[in-house]
Structure 1
């Protein structure tokens, strides 16, 4: 999710198809801020006579390099969609040599109950994917967190300012875990096994920061993570 259906006119070699898929994925990740491994793409090549794509009166000239992208996704904002259209046109032009006039994009939205990624479960409804997506957002944010910010330390439900590391773990009612003074995160029994990869990334990041990677030059204060709590 998002799921991309890409239709092209036959004649492209496998290398061109791969470049098209890779470039489209980069644009989706940036526009919708989804995890790198949130990649679902289906390509179909058609004889030229099987695709009819005019211009709705806009005066757009198409060629046999036409690419039609139909994207199925959870609901996105208008700004995110407009950013996606612009990024796809820009990246496919720069990386694949595709004329923006040969790109058609359509988005169909659905809801959490409309997705099952395997094992016969609706992972958005079970909470399995909420952790993955939230962790992805916070890891991405933590990497560029300004040094002047401090962590919000949690104790008994109250949040107070501390001099600890930036808070990178999301609040979610289905998850509980903590990190000790050395930045080691202890996984609770409610975190699903399928979330292990993202959890390990958070744990490694916490360990690096707890060893002093985030300290400013000349700053003698020890910066260790005292407690992270998720609710």
Structure 2
């Protein structure tokens, strides 16, 4: 049995995710750019309504994952703010200009999270060396890596996902995500033996999770 995280870009999506059996919500804004730090007031509402785990995206903008010192300062401030709000965990990832994990900056954010679990998001899919990157992420103290297997989607990245799960062993959770749907999750699960999966559960062209899709994702791995 594996677990399901739903990427939610609005309050209603978070409600739907919880109602239909998701284990965790990744709350963020700006679906068009892959997610950014959500609105504080909306997050306050979601935090009050959810009894399942709430992880908050910490990403100041879309685009690449190399951040200025001003953007990094904003990320630190956001972690402190959302930590005080009661977030259960955080989602972020910083690379250097060579496509390596920026260990110093990531480690600083993990420490600011105060022991709450941190997911290194799909910035991982842009690293120059996935083997070394995973070791660096583990060393920084992350608990999870969200990845499509360094490919456009989980189906094309399936072999790399399987390899990453094997490399990770019990040291960190590899969470497949990116084009993950109820139509393909079972074979990805059976092939990779991953313990956690990530999907927006959007199947109708909107920006809100579809309840039946959330339910189907949960059922597929239980």
TM, length-normalised to structure 1:
0.22
Q: Which has the higher helix share?
A: 2
TM, length-normalised to structure 2:
0.23
